[in-house]
A and B are shown apart, each in its own frame.
Chain A
Amino acid sequence: MSDTVKLTIDGIEIEVPKGMLVVEAAKLIQRDIPVYCYHPKLGPAGLCRICLVEIEGMPKLQIGCNTPVSQGMVVRTLSDKANEGRRAVLELLLLNHPLDCPICDKGGECDLQDYSMAYGQGASRLADAKSSKPKAVDLGPTIVLDEERCILCLRCVRFDDIVTGERSLRTEDRGAHAMIATASGSPYQSDFSGNVTELCPVGALTSKTYRFKSRPWDNHRTTTTCMQCSVGCQMHVDVRVGAVQRTMSVPEDDAISDGWLCDRGRYNVGYLTDHRRLTQPLYRRDGEWMQIGWDDAIALWANALRESIAKNGPASVGAIGGGRLLNEEAFLLQHVYRALGSENLDWRTGRAHTAYPGRHVGTPVDLENAQAIVTIGRPPAQTAPVLDLRLRKAVAHKGATLIAVGNHAATPGVRATRVETFAGAVKAIPAGTARVAVVWDGEPFAEFEAFRAWIASLSAETTLHLFVPGEQPNARGAEALGMLPGAGGLDTQTMLEAGRDGKLGVLALLGVNPVLHWPDRALAIAALEATPFVVVSELFMTEAGDLATLVLPACSAFEKTGTTTNFAGDVLPVVAGVAAPPEAWADGDMLVALAEALDIAVPAPAEIEARVRELIAQPSKLPPMPALDSAPRAMVERDTARVVVDASIFSGGGTLAHDERIGALRAPARATFHPQTAAQLDVASGDEIDLGGPGGALLAGLTVALDERLPAGVVALVAGVPSAPLNALRGALSVFVAAKRRPQALAEARG
C-alpha cells in the first residue's frame, strides 16, 4: 500500500503523504488557504470556517483544516463558490469587530486585516450598533485581553490545553456572548503565557510589556538564540529606537523550541535599558568606588595577575565563569588563564556538577518520542521550560510514562509517578520500553553509581537519551571548552576555600555570582572578602560585585555576536540585535584586551571558531563526582523539615532583579509545606518565618505557603531568590523554624 496519494489542487497535481490535511497540502504548492483557528501545532478545530474549499463531488464547501487528502481528490481553493463562502464568513467575523486597527498592536501583522484585504467587502452591512464586550481585561500578570477584538478561534484556550496541559483558559458564556476567560476567574498564570499573544490571529491578546509600544513595520528584526537557559530556543528580536521592543518565537524552529518561548525568555528584556546598568568600569580604592577608563581597568587586572603570579605562582590566580558567556568567550577565558599557567578554572557556581550528557545525548525530539521519561532531581519545568513542553507532549499525547525521582515541585499539566529513589524509578519503567529518556539536573545524588551501572546494563533493544539541562545557558559549552580545572587545578569549592584561607591573589568572576548561587553563601562571602583582587564582569552591581576590587560593565547576549552551546551540544548563533551602552564591553573583548596586556597570543576568530566546534563535537569526560554526605547532618533537637531545593525560572539576581516590567513574576521568598507538616511546626499560611540550620545558618524572611502535593516532613525552597538566598542555609539538609511572625492583618483575621 502506498503511503502517498495524488490529488489536484487548483489544477496542480501533487503527491503528498496519506492523511495530510488539505490546508497543509495546499502550502506545498504555495496556496495560502486562510486560517484562524487552525494552527499546525494545535491541529484542526473547525471553528472559524474561513478555510472553506470546494471539493469535487461534495455538495457543500468543506473546511480545508479538517479534510484529509484522498487519492484523486480535486480541490479548488480559489473557485467562485469557495471565495463566496469565505467572503460570507469574513463578513460575519468583521461584523462586530472593532475597527480600531490604527491603535491596535496587531495592526500590520493581523490575519483579520490581511484576509479582509483579500476577501472582504468594502463596507459593513450592519445597521445596528456593534455588540460591546469588556476591553482591556487584565487576564494575569503578563496578558491583557480585548474581548471585542476576539474572534473566538480558541487558539489560546487550546494552547493552554494541548501544549501546556495547564487548562487555565476557557470559554465563558455562549453564542454571541461567548468570551475568553480564566478557569474560576483567577489570573492567567503560566510560564508560557506569552505564546498566546503570538497565536492570537487578531489583537485580542496582547503582552503588557509590548502594548502600544511599537508598530510592527517600525521594528527592526534580528534572529538569535535565547540565552536565559540551556535549551537554546531560536528567537526573533524586534528593535526600534535602539531598544528591544519585544522578542518573538521562531515558528519554524521545530528542532529545538517547537515554535514556543517561555515567559522568562520572552519577557525578560527590560533589564537592557534599566537605569542601573553598569556603564563604566569601577575600581575600589581605599574602600571607595571610583569610575575609571577601560585602559586603566585592563591594566589593573593584568598587573594584579602578574604580581600575584610573580609572588605566589600561577596557582594563586583563578577564574570562575563561562556558563553565561559565549563559546568564544569561554574559550578565551580558559586560554588566557592556561597561558598564565593556572588551572584554577570552573564554570560551576550553583548546585549542578556537570552539564555533560555523555554519549547518550538526546535532542528535544528524542525527548518527545520517549516512551518512559525519568526525571532525577529538579524536573525541567523550571530549569529548561521549553524542553519541558516536549516532556508534556510525550506524556499527554504520545502515551509516555513520567517518573519523577525526588520531592520536587510537580510538572504542571501531566501526571507523574513519584518515587523516592532512582531504584524505584527503574522499577516503575514499564516492561518492554524501547525508548527511555532521563532528565537529570546535574546535581550529585546518592545513587549516582547505581545510575551509571544501570546505563551500562541497558540492553541493545533499549535506547537511552540523557538530558542534563545546564544550570547556566552555556554550561555545556563552557564545560566542553575547558572551563573545568585541569591537573592540579582548583574547582569552585576549593578555589573559594583557597580564597577564604588567603591563598588566592586574584579571582575573576565572569558573569557569575557565587554569593547568590553557590550553595554555601558564607564561604563565598569569606572568599571574596579575603582575596586581595577580585574582578567581576557583570551587567549590574551584584552581591559579588559589592565585594570586588574591580567591576567591569559587560554586554548582554543581545548586544554581542558569537555562538552558544545548548544542552544537546548544538552550536547556535547569537546575534547582536541592539547596541550596548557605550562603555559596556563584551567579555570576549575584555579577555582579548587582557591577553594583549599580558602579551598572550590570541588565536584568530576563525581559528577560535574551528576550535570551538571541534571541542564541542568531542566526547568529553564526566567530571569526577564528589563523595556525598548522605547521612543528615547533626541537628539541634527540634522539629525539623527536610529541605527540597526547587528551581524557578523567575529567580535570580541579575537580569530578572533589574527588570521592573516583569517584577510581578519574580519568585517570592517562600517556604512551602504540606499542611500537616505546617501544623506540626506550628506555622500557618501567610506567616513570615526564619529557618535555621546547623552551625547557626539562618535563612530569614520567608512567607509560608501550603501545598498538599508535597510529601509530609519537607520544606520546599526556591534557590536564587535575592531577598532570601537559599544558600544562606549553607547546604543544610534539614532545617527548623527559628522564628515566626504572624502579620497583623492575618492575626486579626484569624481572631
Chain B
Amino acid sequence: MASPVVEVLTKGIGELNLRDIAVYRETGGYVQLERAVKELGPQAVMDAATGANLRGRGGAGFPTGRKWSFLPNNGRPRYLVCNCDEAEPGTFKDHMLLEQTPHQIIEGILLGAFAIGCKHAYIYIRGEFQDGFEIMRDAVAQARAAGYIGKGICGTEYDLEFTIHRGAGAYICGEETGLLNSLEGKRGEPRLKPPFPAIKGLYGEPTVVNNVETLAYLPYILRNGVEWFAQAGPERSPGYKVVSISGHVKKPGNYEVPLGVTIRQLIDDCAGGLRDGRTFLGVQPGGGSSACLFEEHLDLSYDFDTIAKAGSMLGSGAMVVFDDTTDFVRASHALIRFYAHESCGQCTPCREGGQWIEKTLARLLDGRGVESDIEVLKSACHGITGLNLCALGDSIEPFLGSVLDRFEAQFRAYVGRERVAS
C-alpha cells in the first residue's frame, strides 16, 4: 500500500535550513501572520481554528477554538503559553519541530496570540532541550529583528512580547497548570481545577495553553483554508498529525499523516513494519500514558474518537510497538518507575499508588514475587485511576492494566522465579 505520509509541518525538514528566517520566508513563512494582523483580524483566525476543528495535539485532543472561546471578556490581560515541555514517553515530535522549524512554531504562537488578544506570549521549553532552546532563542531574535515580535507587529498597532522559559526537568510541568506554576517560579505541581486556566491562569489572569504542534498548524490552516484541514481525516477528528513511532519497528521516527489512517498503515507503511521474523503483540497508540492495543485493533482508524472508543487514547500521537520479544512485566515496570518518579506527590492515589505498584513490580522482577502481588496489581490499577488531582495519576496504570489483562501469564510466571539477569 502507498505510504500515507504527507508534508505540512514536516515539509523541508532535512532539506532546507528552516531555522533561517529567510529560508522560512521563502517557503511562505510569516505571510499568514502579516495577512492576519493586516487584513483578517483576530476573529477570522479564531474562526479558522474553530472551523477547521483543530483539536489539541498535546494529548487531550480538546478543540482549540472552543478552548479560546472560554476566555472571559473581562478586560484583564490574557496570556498564551505554548507548551513545549514534551516529555511523554515515546513522544518526540515537538522536539523535532522545535529544532528543525522554530519559525513555524513562532508564527503559530503569534497567530494564536493575535486571535485571543494576548499581549505577552510564552513558550515553555523542556529543560533537556538545550539545542532546541538555543535554536528558538536565535529564531526569536530573528523574528524580532524582522518586526514580527515586539511593538507594532508588521507595522500595525498590534504589540506582542514573547518570552522563552526553560523548564528544569520535571514531567509534571507538561501538565498545563503545573507548567503555569513553574512559569511563575513556583513549585511545579498542578493546580486544583476549577478554576481552569481560561479563567484564572498565568499570574491569575485568563490564559490559554496550547501545544507546539497545535499552534504550528495555524499558518497552514489560514494558507490552505479551513476545508483543506477539516476534510482530511474523520469529520470529528480531522486534520494532520505528526506521529512518533518507536519500539519494535524497522524505521522508527516521526511521520506526518492525515488522521484516520489505520494503525497497521502507520506500522507497516510508515515505520517499515516489524523486524523480520517477529510477530506483533501490542502497541501503545498515544504515548506512555495510553493503554495497550492489540492484534484486533490494528485496522482501527487512527483518530481521537476511535482510539478512545477502543479503550485507549490518541494522546500526543506516539506509538510504541511491541513484538513477541517483549517482557511486559519489565516494560510495565520501566514505565511505572517513570510515573512514580515524576509524581509531584500532592495527591494521595498518585503518590502512594505509583510507588506501591512500582515496588511490587520491582519485587516480581527481583524474583521475590508472591501470589497476592497479581491481585494487588489488578486492584491497585483499578483503584487509582479517576481519583487523582491531575492526569498524571490517571496515566500510571492504563498500560499495566491492559497488558496484565492480556498477558497475565507473563506476570504469574515471575512469581517464585529466580531473578533473571537482564
Closest approach, in angstroms, between the C-beta of A258 and any C-beta of chain B?
Answer: 23
The stretch of A88-96, A506-514, A701-709 that contacts the partner chain: A88-96
Tell me whether A126 and B351 are in contact (CB under 8 A): no
The CA-CA distance from A128 to B172 in the complex, in Å, is 27
Instruction: Please name all residues of chain A whose beta carbon is closer than 8 Å to the beta carbon of B154 when the two chains form the complex.
Output: none
Check if A44 is an interface residue, CB within 8 A of chain B.
yes
A177–B376 CB distance below 8 A: no
A151 vs B384: C-alpha distance in the bound complex, in angstroms? 17
A61 interfacial contact with B, CB 8 Å:
yes
* A49-B347 in contact given A85-B387, A88-B387, A127-B360 (Cβ < 8 Å): yes
Q: Please pick, from A47, A131, A171, A173, the residue contacting B348 in the complex, using a CB distance under 8 A.
A: A47
- Are the CB atoms of A126 and B356 closer together than 8 Å? yes
CB distance from B126 to the nearest CB of A (A): 17
* A176 adjacent to B192 (CB under 8 Å): no
Tell me which residues across on chain B come within 8 A of A144, comparing CB atoms.
none
| Chain B residues in 8 Å Cβ range of A45 | 192
Is A152 a contact partner of B346 (Cβ separation < 8 A)? yes
Say yes or no: is B290 at the interface (Cβ < 8 Å to chain A).
Answer: no
Q: Is A170 in contact with B187, judged by CB distance below 8 angstroms? A: yes
- Give per-residue flags for B325-355: 1 if the beta carbon is below 8 A from chain A beta carbons, else 0: 0000000000000001111111111011111
CB distance from A509 to the nearest CB of B (A): 54
Bound-state CA distance A95–B355 (Å) is: 10
Residue of A nearest to B359 (CB): A128
Kindly state the separation between the CA atoms of A232 and B162 in the bound complex, as whole angstroms. 53
Q: Is the CB of B349 within 8 A of A49?
A: yes
Indicate with 1 or 0, residue by residue over A271-283, a CB within 8 angstroms of chain B CB atoms.
0000000000000
B199 interface residue per 8 A CB criterion: no
| A66 interface residue per 8 A CB criterion | yes
Residue B383 is within 8 A (CB to CB) of chain A in the complex: yes
In the complex the two chains form, is B345's CB within 8 Å of A92's CB? no
A133 within 8 A of B: no
**What residues of A have a CB within 8 angstroms of the CB of B347 in the complex?**
46-49
A52 adjacent to chain B (CB < 8 Å)? yes
A88, A152, A171: the one within 8 Å of B187 (CB): A171
* Interface size range on A against B: 35 or more
A131 and B345 alpha carbons, distance in the complex (Å)? 14
Contacts of A127 in B (CB 8 A): 360, 363, 370, 372-373, 376
How far apart sit A171 and B342, CA to CA, in the bound complex (Å)?
15
Q: Decide if A50 is an interface residue (CB 8 Å cutoff).
A: yes
> Quick check: B355 and A175 within 8 Å, CB to CB?
yes
Q: How many B residues have CB within 8 A of the partner chain?
A: 35
Contact B387–A52 (Cβ < 8 Å): yes
> Known: A128-B359, A131-B355. Contact between A175 and B383, CB under 8 A?
no
Whether B340 pairs with A175 at a CB distance below 8 angstroms is yes
CB proximity of B176 to chain A, nearest CB, Å:
16
A398 within 8 A of B: no
Q: Which of B187, B344, B348, B351 contacts A50 (CB 8 A)?
A: B348
- B192: A residues at CB distance < 8 A: 44-46, 66
Contact with A along B260-298 (1 / 0, CB 8 A): 000000000000000000000000000000000000000
> Which of A85, A174, A175 counts the most chain B CB atoms within 10 A?
A175
Interface contacts (Cβ under 8 Å), in number, total: 97
Q: Among A50, A91, A170, A176, which residue has its beta carbon within 8 angstroms of that of B345?
A: A176
Bound Cα distance from A128 to B372, whole angstroms:
12
Q: Which residue of chain B has its CB nearest to the CB of A97?
A: B352
The residue that A176 contacts in the complex, of B194, B340, B373, with Cβ under 8 A, is B340
Given A175-B341, A175-B342, A176-B340: A152 and B351 within 8 A (CB)? yes
Question: A47-B346, A95-B356, A131-B355 in contact; A66/B194 too (CB < 8 A)?
Answer: yes
User: Which residues of A, 42-99, contact B by the 8 Å Cβ criterion?
Assistant: 44-50, 52, 60-61, 66, 85, 88-89, 91-93, 95-96
Nearest chain A CB to B240 CB, angstrom units: 31
Residues of A within 8 Å of B170, CB to CB, are: 174
Q: Most chain-B CB neighbours within 10 Å: which of A60, A126, A128? A: A128
A92 touching B384 by the CB < 8 A rule?
yes
Q: How far is it, in angstroms, between the C-alpha of A88 and the C-alpha of B348 when the chains are bound? A: 10
Q: Is B386 on the interface with A (CB-CB < 8 A)?
A: yes
B389 within 8 A of A: yes
A601 interfacial by beta-carbon distance below 8 Å: no
B-facing residues in A466-517 (Cβ within 8 Å): none
Closest to B370 in A: A127
B10 on interface, CB distance cutoff 8 Å? no
Known: A152-B346, A175-B341. A93 touches B187 (CB 8 A): no
Residues 136-162 of A, flagged 1 when their CB comes within 8 A of B and 0 if not, give 000000000000000110100000000
Once the chains bind, are A176 and B348 in contact (CB under 8 Å)? no
Are B383 and A176 touching (Cβ within 8 A)?
A: no
- Within the complex, the shortest CB–CB distance from B215 to chain A, in Å, comes to 29
Check A89/B348 contact, CB under 8 A, given A49-B387, A131-B355. yes
Residues in chain B near residue A170, CB distance under 8 A = 187
Asked if A178 CB lies within 8 Å of chain B CBs, one says yes
Task: Find the B residue at minimum CB distance from A127.
Answer: B370
Query: Which residues, 144 to 200 on A, are CB-close (under 8 Å) to B?
Result: 151-152, 154, 170-171, 173-178
Hey, which chain B residues are within 8 Å of A151, CB to CB? 348
B388 contacts which of A44, A49, A154, A178 (Cβ < 8 Å)? A49
**Known interface pairs A88-B383, A125-B376, A127-B363. Does A175 touch B354 (Cβ–Cβ under 8 Å)?**
yes
B172 to nearest A CB, angstroms? Answer: 8
Q: Check A95/B345 contact, CB under 8 A, given A66-B192, A127-B372, A175-B340.
A: no
Contacting A at CB under 8 A, from B382-422, are: 383-384, 386-389
Cβ–Cβ contact B388 & A92, under 8 A: no
* B376 lies within 8 A of A93 (CB): no
Task: Please give the distance in Å from A79's CB to the nearest CB on chain B.
Answer: 15
Contacts of A88 in B (CB 8 A): 349, 383-384, 387
Q: What separation, in Å, do the CA atoms of A152 and B351 have in the docked complex? A: 10
Residue A61 contacts which of B194, B340, B384, B386 (CB distance < 8 angstroms)?
Answer: B386
Q: Chain A residue with minimal CB distance to B362?
A: A128
Q: Do A178 and B187 have beta carbons less than 8 Å apart?
A: no
- How many angstroms between the C-alpha atoms of A91 and B387 in the bound complex? 13
B346 & A176 in contact (Cβ 8 Å cutoff) = no
Q: Which of A60, A89, A154 has the most CB of B within 10 A?
A: A89
B360 close to A49 (CB less than 8 A): no
Q: Could you tell me the distance between the alpha carbons of A173 and B351 in the complex, rounded to whole angstroms?
A: 12
CB distance from A57 to the nearest CB of B (A): 16
- Interface contact B354-A176, CB-CB below 8 Å: yes
Cα distance A89–B347 in the bound complex, in angstroms: 10
In whole Å, how far is A69's beta carbon from the nearest beta carbon of chain B?
14
Interchain nearest-CB distance for B265 vs A (Å): 32
Q: How far is the CA of A170 from the CA of B181 in the complex (A)?
A: 15
Among B352, B373, B388, B389, point to the contact of A95 (Cβ < 8 A): B352
Complex Cα distance, B354 from A127, in Å, reads 15
Q: Which of A60, A85, A176 contacts B351 (CB 8 A)?
A: A176
Chain B residues lying within 8 Å of A61, measured Cβ to Cβ, are 386-387
Q: How far apart are the CA atoms of A151 and B345 in the complex, in Å?
A: 10
Inter-chain CA distance A125–B344, complex, in Å, is 24
- Nearest Cβ distance between residue B17 and chain A, in whole angstroms? 40
**Smallest CB separation, B179 vs chain A (Å):** 15
Contacts of A92 in B (CB 8 A): 348-349, 351-353, 356, 383-384
Task: Assess whether A49 is in contact with B348, with CB atoms less than 8 Å apart.
Answer: yes
Assembled-state Cα–Cα distance A170/B352 (Å) = 19
Q: Report 30 cross-chain contacts, Cβ distance below 8 Å, ordered by A residue.
A: A47-B347, A47-B389, A49-B347, A49-B349, A49-B388, A85-B387, A88-B384, A89-B349, A92-B348, A92-B351, A92-B353, A95-B356, A128-B359, A128-B363, A131-B355, A152-B345, A152-B346, A170-B187, A174-B342, A174-B343, A175-B342, A175-B345, A175-B351, A175-B354, A176-B345, A176-B352, A177-B345, A178-B344, A178-B345, A178-B351
Told that A44-B192, A128-B359, A152-B351 touch, could you supply 14 new A-B pairs with CB distance under 8 A? A50-B348, A66-B192, A85-B387, A89-B349, A92-B353, A93-B352, A95-B352, A152-B346, A173-B345, A174-B172, A175-B341, A175-B343, A176-B343, A178-B351
Closest 9 CB pairs of A and B: A178-B345, A88-B383, A92-B352, A175-B343, A176-B355, A46-B192, A175-B345, A60-B386, A174-B345
